[in-house]
Chain A
Amino acid sequence: MVATPESLPLPAAHEEPRFRTCASTGLKIHLAAQTLIKANAVTAVVFLAIGGLFGLLVALTRWPAVHLLPADWFYLVLTAHGLDVLLLWIIFFEIAILYFASAVLLGSRIAAPRVAWAAYALMLIGGLITNVAVLQGGSTVMFTSYTPMMAAPNFYLGLIIFAVGALVALGVFFGTLVVARDERTYEGSVPLVTFGAITAAIIAVFTLASGAIILIPTYLWSLGLISMPDPLTYKLIWWGMGHSSQQINVSAHVSIWYLIAAVVLGAKPLSEKVSRMAFFLYILFLQLASAHHLMVEPGLSSEWKVFNTSYAMYLAVLGSMIHGMTVPGAIEAAQRANGYDKGLFGWLRHAPWGNPAFAGMFLSLIMFGFIGGISGVVLGTEQINLIMHNTIYVPGHFHGTVVAGTTLAFMAGTWLLLPLIFQREIIWPRIARWQPYIFAIGAGGISLFMMGAGTLGVARRHWDITFADASMSFSYPPAAFLMMGLNGICALFAATGGIMYILTVVATVLWGKRIADGQAVQLASPKARVVTEYGSIEHPKIPGTIILTVIFFVAFVLYYYVNWKYLAEVWPMR
Chain B
Amino acid sequence: MAIAPPADRMWWRTPVARPEIIWIVVSFLWGLVMFFTMIYWHAYGKQNLSNETYRTTPMKYSAKVDEMVGKFQVRDDNGIPVVRPPAGGDVYMLARTWMWYPHIELVKGQSYKFHFSSLDLQHGFSLQPVNVNLQVHPGYEHVLTFTPDESGEYSVVCNEFCGLGHHLMLGKIYVVEK
A interface residues with partner B (beta carbon < 8 Å): 25, 71-72, 75, 105, 140-142, 146, 148-149, 186-193, 230-232, 258-259, 261-263, 266-275, 294-302, 306, 310, 312-315, 317-318, 321-322, 325-326, 329-330, 377, 381-383, 385-391, 455-457, 459-465, 467, 469-474, 476-477, 539-540, 542, 545-546, 549, 553, 556-557, 560, 564, 567-568, 570-574
With A457-B129, A573-B50 as contacts: A146 and B2 at CB distance below 8 Å: no
Report the Cα distance A566→B100, complex, angstroms: 26
Contact B166 A462 (CB under 8 A): yes
In the complex, which residue of chain A has the Cβ closest to the Cβ of B5?
A: A188
How many Å lie between the Cα of A294 and that of B134 in the bound state? 10
Report which of B9, B133, B135 forms a contact with A188, defined as CB distance below 8 A: B9
Could you pull out 9 A-B pairs where Cβ atoms are within 8 angstroms? A149-B162, A259-B2, A298-B137, A302-B48, A459-B126, A459-B159, A460-B159, A477-B129, A574-B145
Residue among A191, A299, A568, A573 facing the most chain B CB atoms (10 A cut-off):
A573
Contact yes or no, B47 A383, CB < 8 A: yes
The distance in angstroms between the C-alpha atoms of A187 and B12, with both chains bound, is: 16
Verify B132–A571 contact, CB threshold 8 A. yes
Q: 9 closest pairs, A vs B, by CB?
A: A314-B31, A298-B142, A459-B159, A474-B155, A272-B11, A258-B2, A390-B159, A321-B27, A298-B53
Query: Quick one: closest B residue to A545, CB to CB?
Result: B19
CB pair B131–A149 under 8 Å, yes or no, is no
Across the interface, which residues of A come within 8 angstroms of B120, CB to CB? 148
Complex formed: what's the CA distance from A23 to B146 in Å? 69
A574 with B134: CB separation less than 8 A: no
A109 and B132 CA atoms in complex are apart in Å by 55
For chain B, what secondary structure do more than half of its interface residues adopt (helix, strand, loop), or is it mixed?
Answer: mixed
- Rounded to whole Å, the gap between the CB of B96 and the closest CB of chain A is 12
Q: CB of B59 within 8 A of chain A?
A: no
B84 within 8 A of A: no
Which residues in A have their C-beta under 8 angstroms from that of B53? 298-299
- Interchain CB contact (< 8 A) of A389 among B5, B124, B142, B163: B124
CB contacts (< 8 Å) of A553 on chain B: these are: 26, 30
Query: A146-B122, A259-B3, A389-B133 in contact; A467/B48 too (CB < 8 A)?
Result: no
Minimum CB–CB distance for A155 against chain B, Å: 15
Which residue from chain A places its CB closest to the CB of B106 in the assembled complex?
Answer: A571
Considering the chains assembled together, what is the distance between the CA atoms of A408 and B47 in angstroms?
Answer: 38
Contacts of A274 in B (CB 8 A): 16, 20, 24
Q: Bound complex: CA of A391 vs CA of B26, how far in Å? A: 32
Inter-chain CA distance A224–B154, complex, in Å, is: 41
Contact of B135 among A388, A390, A564, A573 (CB under 8 A): A390
Knowing A317-B31, A557-B30 are in contact, say whether A296-B16 is a contact too (CB < 8 A): no
B50 with A574: CB separation less than 8 A: yes
Q: In whole angstroms, what is the CA distance A83 to B70 when docked?
A: 46
- Distance of A483 from chain B, by nearest CB (Å): 14
Does A391 contact B133, Cβ atoms closer than 8 Å?
yes
- Distance of A115 Cα from B11 Cα, bound (Å): 35
Known pairs A188-B9, A298-B140, A377-B34; A472 contacts B77 (CB<8 A): yes
Give the Cβ gap from A215 to chain B, nearest Cβ, in Å: 17
Indicate whether B63 reaches chain A with its CB closer than 8 angstroms.
no
Q: How far is the CB of B49 from chain A (nearest CB, A)?
A: 6
> Chain B contacts of A191 at CB under 8 A?
1-6
Judging by beta carbons under 8 Å apart, are B149 and A572 in contact? Answer: yes
For A263, list chain B residues within 8 Å (CB): 3
Residues in chain B near residue A572, CB distance under 8 A: 46-47, 146-147, 149
User: With A325-B20, A542-B19, A574-B145 in contact, is A474–B138 under 8 Å at CB?
Assistant: no
Residues in B19-74 with C-beta less than 8 Å from chain A: 19-20, 23-24, 26-28, 30-32, 34-35, 37-39, 41-42, 45-51, 53
Contact B126 A391 (CB under 8 A): yes
**How long is the Cα–Cα vector from A75 to B145 in the complex, in angstroms?**
34
- With both beta carbons as reference points, the residue of chain B lying nearest to A294 in the complex is identified as B135
Whether A381 and B3, one on each chain, are in contact in the complex, defined by CB atoms closer than 8 angstroms, is: no
Output the nearest chain A residue to B1 by Cβ-Cβ distance. Answer: A262
Interface membership of B170, Cβ < 8 A: yes
User: Are A313 and B31 in contact, with the CB atoms below 8 A?
Assistant: yes
Chain B residues near A574 (CB-CB < 8 A): 46, 48, 50, 144-145
Do residues A325 and B23 form an inter-chain contact, with CB atoms below 8 A? Answer: yes
User: B: which residues have CB within 8 A of A?
Assistant: 1-9, 11-12, 14, 16-17, 19-20, 23-24, 26-28, 30-32, 34-35, 37-39, 41-42, 45-51, 53, 77-78, 80, 116, 120-122, 124, 126-142, 144-149, 155, 157-164, 166-172
Known: A296-B135, A389-B135. A467 touches B47 (CB 8 A): no
CA distance A313 to B37 in the complex (A): 11
The reply to whether A273 and B50 form a contact with Cβ atoms under 8 Å apart is no
Shortest CB-to-CB span from A431 to chain B, Å, is 27
A387 in contact with B24 given A271-B14, A302-B51 (CB within 8 Å): no
B103 CB to closest chain A CB, in angstroms? 8
Is A471 within 8 A of B78, CB to CB? yes
| CB closest chain-B residue, reference A104 | B3
**A188 near B132 (CB under 8 angstroms)?**
no
Query: A247 CB to closest chain B CB, in angstroms?
Result: 16
B157 in contact with A459 (CB, 8 Å):
yes
How many angstroms from the CA of A275 to the CA of B161 in the assembled complex?
41
Contacts A459-B126, A553-B30 hold; do A391 and B131 have CB atoms under 8 A apart? yes
Residues of B near A262 (CB, < 8 A) are: 1-3
List A contacts of B14 (CB < 8 A).
271-273
CA distance A557 to B147 in the complex (A): 30
Complex contacts, B19 vs chain A, CB 8 Å: 325, 329, 542, 545-546
Return chain B residues, CB-CB under 8 Å to A465: 167
A457 CA / B132 CA spacing, docked (Å): 8
Distance, CA A13 to CA B173, complexed state (A): 77
Q: Which of B6, B16, B131, B161 contacts A457 (CB 8 A)?
A: B131
CB distance from A438 to the nearest CB of B (A): 28
Cα separation A540 to B128 with both chains bound (whole Å): 53
- A296 adjacent to B134 (CB under 8 Å): yes
Residue of A nearest to B116 (CB): A298
Known interface pairs A391-B131, A457-B128, A573-B47; 19 further A-B residue pairs with C-beta atoms within 8 A, sorted by A's residue number: A105-B3, A231-B138, A263-B3, A267-B1, A271-B20, A272-B11, A295-B49, A310-B34, A383-B45, A390-B133, A391-B159, A470-B167, A568-B45, A570-B47, A570-B131, A571-B127, A572-B46, A573-B145, A573-B146
